[in-house]
A and B are shown apart, each in its own frame.
Chain A
Amino acid sequence: RKEVEQDPGPFNVPEGATVAFNCTYSNSASQSFFWYRQDCRKEPKLLMSVYSSGNEDGRFTAQLNRASQYISLLIRDSKLSDSATYLCVVNIVNSGGSNYKLTFGKGTLLTVNP
């Protein structure tokens, strides 16, 4: 099983649609979770951290289910400017517990159409 696995996409949706991204991770010792956004040929940028209680930032809602090792991102009322690749990112601790490493999913490309 891959360390971090995402929907392969791509997703093409009309403006105003609701779109959901799913992600699973294999290491139950994972400590922190993020969604990053990457525009074409640009660097990844943090979209939001993901907390066990779930969290919301405007049109974006992130959920974490530790028991199922599952993370999701919901985008409501999608805008043209939401078009990007969304990366699921998990911070995994090493066996000695001394170091954390970010592991990235391969990303899901979203295109929002007018």
Chain B
Amino acid sequence: EAQVTQNPRYLITVTGKKLTVTCSQNMNHEYMSWYRQDPGLGLRQIYYSMNVEVTDKGDVPEGYKVSRKEKRNFPLILESPSPNQTSLYFCASSRKSRETQYFGPGTRLLVL
């Protein structure tokens, strides 16, 4: 089944404790992206990747890192999480950047 998976789905952590949210797709898509969704602000892009080893900042990259060492994986790293990073995070992928994006199920993060 073609899909985008994210782990963990739910996470409660404390300020400053490094964490990684994994994202994996099995569709051989070139383009992958991370978004956060907050009430009243909609979906905002954090980082994106056009292909392996090619990543760039989205609209709200501060406090996040990403890597794209393999085509299928695009982890999101929070080196020192803060409470303002409490949010719902979605990973998405598409064959090319201009095409329809498919979303993972989301990761709900609470930073205390």
Inter-chain contact B98/A44, CB cutoff 8 Å: no
8 Å CB contacts to B: which residues of A84-114? 87, 91, 93, 99-107
- In the complex, which residue of chain A has the Cβ closest to the Cβ of B88? A41
Complex Cα spacing A100 to B97, Å: 5
In the complex, A45 Cα to B42 Cα: how many Å? 15
| Contact, CB under 8 Å: A46 / B100 | yes
Counting chain B residues whose Cβ lies within 8 A of the other chain, the interface size class is 20 to 34
A residues near B105, Cβ cutoff 8 Å: 42-43
- Interface presence of A32 (CB below 8 A): yes
Contact of A43 among B50, B98, B99, B104 (CB under 8 A): B104
**B42 touching A43 by the CB < 8 A rule?**
no
Contact of A101 with B43 at beta-carbon distance under 8 Å, contacts A42-B106, A43-B90, A43-B103 already known: no
Shortest beta-carbon distance from A109 to chain B in Å:
12
Interface residues of B (CB under 8 A from A): 33, 35, 40-43, 45, 48, 50, 56, 58, 88, 90, 92, 96-106
A45 to B104, CA, bound (A): 10
Interface size class of A (residues with CB under 8 A): 20 to 34
Cα–Cα distance between A32 and B96 once the two chains are bound (Å):
12
- The answer for the CA separation of A46 and B35 in the assembled complex, in Å, is 16
6 pairs from A and B in contact (CB 8 Å cutoff)? A43-B106, A91-B98, A102-B101, A104-B43, A106-B40, A107-B42
- Chain B nearest CB: distance from A105 CB in Å? 7
